[in-house]
Amino acid sequence: MATLNVNEKAVLKLFPCLTPNPRGGDQWDASLLFAGINYQVELKAKDESEKLTWNSNKADIPMLARWEKERDFYLYSEYNKPNTPTLANEHYIMFRKPILNNPTSQCLFPMEAIGMREQYKMWEEIIRGGEYTGDLGYDMWLEAKNDLLELYKDRPNFSEWKIGLDRAEKKVTRINAKMPWHYISEGGWRVHTCQDIKDAVAHQIKTYGSL
* Per-residue model confidence as pLDDT tens digits over 33-81: 999 999 999 999 999 999 999 998 889 999 999 999 999 999 999 999 9
Confidence at residue 1, expressed as pLDDT on a 0 to 100 scale: 47
Q: How high is the pLDDT of residue 105? A: 81
Share of the chain above pLDDT 70, in %: 95
Contact partners, residue 159, CB within 8 Å, separation at least 6: none
Beta strands in 60-158 (DSSP E): 73-79, 91-95
pTM to 2 decimal places: 0.89
CATH code for the part of the protein at 6-117+176-208: 3.40.210
**pLDDT at residue 109 above 70?**
no
Distant-in-sequence, close-in-space partners of 16: CB < 8 Å, separation ≥ 6: 194
Burial class (CB in 10 A: 0-12, 13-18, 19+), 157: exposed
* In the chain, where the domains are located: 6-117+176-208, 124-173
Phi, then psi, of 55 in degrees rounded to 5: -90, -30
